[in-house]
């Protein structure tokens, strides 16, 4: 049951997946908020979670109903479906190497755009969750805003969305099932 730790689990899963994919070209993937620019003595790819949003396509789902052994019914809100947006930025000190790193990242995430099963980490491990990863191109203006917000000069990067990340609610209400109902018909009043 994914809880508040799900965002960290997705970031960890993405980082580990990309780290394994970049091993053949000797590049490490690391989580980074880009407040400090990594030194170019180490070739790496930063994984920066820059936005979290609710998936609008999953709104208005029905409540989750669970009948317990006692016959009591537990009603809960449906899981909150999240969309996580990441900025992937290479740091090598050499533009050609940066391009190779991004080429490998794009190829890897195109070939394996759904992560599930043993690839998942943290609270997602052992669940039936699936992370769908798609390229989410930002306009140059939008990308510049991200770099401006962290007060760093623009760098070549690529952005991806990870969806559907389900965050289960903690609260549920217990209700008794309806065992009997009566339908009564009213007759119209005459003036």
Measured between its terminal Cα atoms, the distance across the chain in Å is 60
Predicted local distance difference test score (pLDDT) of residue 154:
82
* φ/ψ (deg, to 5) at 26: 55, 50
Strand, helix or coil for residue 180:
coil
Predicted local distance difference test score (pLDDT) of residue 168:
63
Predicted local distance difference test score (pLDDT) of residue 172:
59
Contact 170, 2 (CB under 8 A): no
Segment 19-45 shows an average pLDDT of 88
Over the stretch 35-55, which tens digit does the pLDDT of each residue have? 888 877 789 999 999 999 988
Dihedral angle of Cα 10, 11, 12, 18, to the nearest 10 degrees: 110
Binning pLDDT at 50, 70 and 90, where does residue 181 land? confident
Is the per-residue pLDDT at 183 higher than 80?
no
Over the stretch 2-20, which tens digit does the pLDDT of each residue have? 678 889 999 999 999 999 9
Over the stretch 66-119, which tens digit does the pLDDT of each residue have? 777 777 777 777 778 889 999 999 998 889 999 999 999 999 999 999 999 899
- Locate all alpha helices (DSSP H) within the chain, ordered by sequence: 6-22, 95-111, 140-149
Predicted local distance difference test score (pLDDT) of residue 65:
76
Predicted local distance difference test score (pLDDT) of residue 178:
66
* φ/ψ (deg, to 5) at 16: -65, -40
Predicted local distance difference test score (pLDDT) of residue 70:
75
Over the stretch 124-159, which tens digit does the pLDDT of each residue have? 888 888 899 999 988 888 888 888 888 888 888 999
* Class (C level, CATH) for 6-169: alpha beta
- 148: tokens are 């401006």
Contact 124, 9 (CB under 8 A): yes
């Amino acid at each position: 049951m994914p809880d508040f730790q799900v965002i960290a689990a997705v970031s960890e899963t993405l980082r580990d997946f990309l780290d394994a994919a970049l091993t053949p070209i000797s590049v490490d993937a690391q989580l980074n908020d880009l407040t400090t620019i990594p030194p170019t003595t180490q070739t790496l790819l930063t994984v920066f979670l820059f936005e979290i949003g609710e998936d609008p396509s999953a709104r208005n789902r029905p409540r989750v109903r669970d009948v317990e052994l006692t016959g009591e019914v537990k009603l809960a809100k449906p899981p909150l479906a999240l969309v996580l947006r990441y900025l992937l930025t290479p740091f090598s000190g050499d533009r050609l190497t940066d391009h190779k790193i991004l080429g490998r990242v794009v190829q890897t995430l195109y070939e394996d755009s759904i992560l599930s099963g043993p690839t998942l980490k943290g609270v997602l491990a052992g669940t039936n969750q699936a992370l769908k990863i798609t390229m989410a191109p930002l306009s140059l203006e939008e990308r510049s805003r991200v770099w401006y917000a962290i007060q760093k000069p623009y760098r070549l990067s690529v952005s991806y969305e990870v969806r559907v990340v389900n965050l289960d609610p903690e609260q549920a209400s217990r209700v008794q099932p309806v065992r009997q109902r009566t339908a009564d018909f009213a007759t119209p009043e005459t003036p």
